[in-house]
Structure 1
């Protein structure tokens, strides 16, 4: 028989959008894994492999489809976000690996009410500007040299803009003369090497300031020897001080008119050259305190984060998935370098017994869960997609998690019953096993079936209480009609009453927990 295992995600089915999806908005789509097709109204068909993307202007009808095993991300870009320089024709582009997480975080900004310091939706279009062959550098930076010598030096500066090599030292590294280096920069960019390097470093500094870096550290990381010289160069190029630019970046989305139009916008600075910004951690994100009308399952794809509900903070680590309850004010956030995505949602009446529960998905599930998120929040989804299956997925993983903390029977019939109980299948609420099966449980787990079920219920109760649920709510969820009966059973099993356990857990929440940031058992 099939045995529950956290290492076996379901296969990813093929998916598609309707014809002409989101006509009236631009489309930016890229393929994370597998293969996708973009069919345009004019009859043109683009086949995209992993690491490739396409920009389709609003005037072009389109349909996206993916093969089984593929994960693609579509973004509906409002026309007002596209600058006048955006291509009026479909444009293909390559998506380097160091861009992937940055683009996935952009997807989160498009589908969820999150904010992050210095973020602007318009920066998504940098990948299009680059693909369209713009003669200017990324994000309004200096023009990029085309000559092989100057280009190799530009790439070296992109990898580390703080390198303080002289023009002669760069020329030696490029195996050419200093004169050749200067000639290529002047011919291709209209600037001397020193002028181009200063302009490029200022563009790097803008990216760092927009991401929340303080002025002194931005100066050092972008290659300036001192804060005063950096401030003079910044003001001479942009007309404002670095501190003013940093403050204006905070209100860029809501007050775009406050920023001079020639200032660089935050985005994938220098990744077209190989990544001066590619290794910079993603900004922290946060939702405002708000209430959902539906239960939402949120998953930490990268890094760490937190969920605050009713004064209780749940600390989450990579791989954790937890339900955000409907109708209750909450706030969700991620730390720098982290990404959280919604996996699906349920009607309020469909989520009974989920409050305070979390599961852990291993990395082998990443591609499948990215697919589920896209299916839940965009029209790119499989035929017959049913959003309610996310509940079965969660409960199956919950059973796998719990099986690792309980002795499990090895024989198939007993294992099937145990897994059904751990899934909390409704038909197992009052299950009674025959004597042979009871003997199997005693022999293979050291407990009778009734005692094994009690252990499962008490460990579930502990999870729910640690997650912030009240003892009364937990008693009902684990099958007790009277709180007093539940309290006696919990005290006998865990050697402390439920309310004392809750008080102890809350008292240590701000102190060290286990390796996953959870309270000790």
Structure 2
């Protein structure tokens, strides 16, 4: 018998309209994407109608407001500013290919901060935005950039040369680096692009040169920047590929694509060149890599849902394998962790306060029909951002799942001592009392207390306390506290002792965790 169905297709609630009052991302650009239905994005006096499949790029510092139609689902996604070239400094309307939709949901999920590590924007998405930017700005590149090859090794070389056109690495050196034969690479370039490697690189350099000249750069500087040893060699190659000299081109196109002084031109050239290489097909989205959560002891009950693929949930001393559509109720106070398979998406549906598993229903797998997916996506956005209906109950789904999961009488007096200990340690994680000391303090037999604690949490008392401290440690580090201050708040005698325990649990130091151990949006539209 499979998991219990939460509600059938005919019982899925309607999706209400949603709104977001005026807000401006301070540091991170916004990618506003409409998954289904229609929305309006207002910037200043202009209102943009954004249909399903469309997106708007809004640079940091620009105020906007959003209205989403009933039965529509839209995602406000802050993008990591460190990954972006300065070219993307204006409002850009563009289309999101269907193949990119799951990757954008993945990017949104990482912004919520519950997954390990970070995720880069991805060159392909920048190609989509930069392509729209080029069309909007009127950039003129009469020399069509060379076609991108298809195979992984040749594509890697091509992208390298587009981003650094002056790179004079020989094909034989690339072959050694990639552990592939030189003849094989030569053959692939010819078969996949119609050009030999040498002619492909020259064509890419000329495409980069036209972008530099469009930006107003001096001809001699441009030739050297894209890799030509002499002005004569640059002029000869430029005329061969464009039918005119660099000076004639500069006179005809100067000022066609103005670029800010502080812009990295190489980034702009690469993006515009790569976009132009595949005019008839959208770039391929990055693979959604396997991910997961850190092991944690929550102070809230939470519901997780598998939107795509599969995942494995460990709760206490048990493990469950979840598939698409499955949801799981995870009570507070018990160690849990999630491992998400490659290409899969797990999203939190909501939570309820609660520091103890004693009075909560046990973990249980439930299932949502495919027809409920749009409503559940709407629920995730409404619960974890400020884009939500005017009247919104964030606990609706978690309460429904909790009631469906309830299958046993809740806590009894025999469980009260365990609940007392859990509450005391959450209130004061520096409390160093042993279970023996707790049994004396509460007047409960130590063996019975140990048994009750293990039954309630799935762990021994020392392991549970250590896991609680690591959960709180990550929260303190994410808030910007130092390792020393975090150690003090958690009851460690020395920062070095805390660091040693943290490294053993996470495989990285507290400082490294702050740099790369998690990724959460710092913007106010994400309600964390």
- Using the size of structure 1 for normalisation, the TM-score is 0.51
The counterpart of 1:28, out of the listed 28, 31, 44, is 31
The whole-number CA distance in structure 2 between the counterparts of 1:275 and 1:116 is 28
Sort the Cα spacing of 1:423 and 1:36 in 2 relative to 1 into closer, same or farther, 3 A: farther
Aligned to 2:46: 44
The answer on 1:120 being equivalent to 2:120 is yes
Task: Could you tell me which runs of 5 or more consecutive residues in structure 2 were left unpaired when the two chains were aligned.
Answer: 160-173, 190-196, 202-265, 411-451, 458-528
Partner of 2:329: 323
Match of 1:188 among 143, 148, 169: 143
Does the CA contact (< 8 Å) of 1:91 and 1:131 recur in 2?
A: yes
Q: What is the CA–CA distance in structure 2 between the aligned matches of 1:271 and 1:392, rounded to whole Å?
A: 49
Q: Kindly report which structure 2 residues correspond to 1:6-405, keeping only aligned pairs within 5 A, or say none.
A: 6-7=8-9, 8-23=11-26, 25-40=28-43, 42-77=44-79, 79-88=81-90, 90-115=91-116, 119-121=119-121, 123=123, 125-133=126-134, 188-189=143-144, 191=146, 197=149, 202-203=154-155, 226=184, 273-275=280-282, 277=284, 282-348=288-354, 352-395=359-402, 398=404
What pairs with 1:425-440 in structure 2 (closer than 5 Å)? none
Once the two structures are TM-superposed, the CA of residue 226 in structure 1 deviates from its matched residue by 4.3
CA distance in 2, matches of 1:223, 1:340: 41
SS at match of 1:19: strand
The Cα of 1:229 is off from its aligned counterpart by: 8.7
SS at match of 1:58: coil
Question: Which stretches in structure 1 are left out of the alignment for 5+ residues?
Answer: 136-143, 147-186, 208-214, 238-259, 400-421, 427-468, 475-521
Rounded to whole Å, the distance in 2 between the matches of 1:223 and 1:112 is 43
d(CA) in 1 for partners of 2:308, 2:63: 34
RMSD (Å), alpha carbons: 4.7
The whole-number CA distance in structure 2 between the counterparts of 1:4 and 1:311 is 26
Q: Secondary structure at the match of 1:18?
A: strand
What is the CA-CA distance between 1:133 and the residue it aligns to? 2.3
Tell me the distance in 2 between the aligned counterparts of 1:64 and 1:125.
23
How far 1:349 sits from its partner (Å)? 5.6
**Cα distance change, pair 49–315 in 1 and its aligned pair in 2 (3 A):** same
- Number of residue equivalences: 320
Aligned partners of 1:314, 1:55: CA distance in 2, in Å?
39
The 3 A distance-change label for structure 1 pair 134 and 81 is farther
Distance in 2 (CA, whole Å) between partners of 1:315 and 1:73 is 28
* TM-aligned CA deviation for residue 6 of structure 1: 1.7
The answer on whether the counterparts of 2:38 and 2:50 sit within 8 Å (CA) in structure 1 is yes
Pairing 1:462-481 to 2, within 5 Å after superposition: none
Q: What is the CA deviation profile of residues 314-333 of structure 1, one whole-angstrom value per residue up to 9, with x for unaligned ones? A: 11110011123333333212
Question: Relative to structure 1, is the Cα distance of residues 471 and 379 closer, same or farther in structure 2, using a 3 angstrom cutoff?
Answer: same
Compute the displacement of 1:58 (Å): 2.0
Q: Cα distance, 1:357 vs. partner?
A: 1.3
SS in 2 for 1:32: strand
Contact 1:306 1:316 (8 Å CA) reproduced:
yes
Is contact 1:92-1:131 (8 Å) kept?
Answer: yes
Do the aligned residues in 2 keep the contact of 1:301 with 1:340 (CA within 8 Å)?
yes
Alpha-carbon offset, residue 337 of structure 1: 1.9
CA 1:423–1:381 in structure 2 vs 1: closer, same or farther (change >3 Å)? farther
Structure 1 position 289, deviation (Å): 2.4
Other structure's SS at 1:112 match:
strand
Q: 2: distance between equivalents of 1:424 and 1:349?
A: 19
In the TM superposition, what is the alpha-carbon distance from 1:10 to its structure 2 partner?
A: 0.5
How far off its partner does 1:120 sit? 1.1
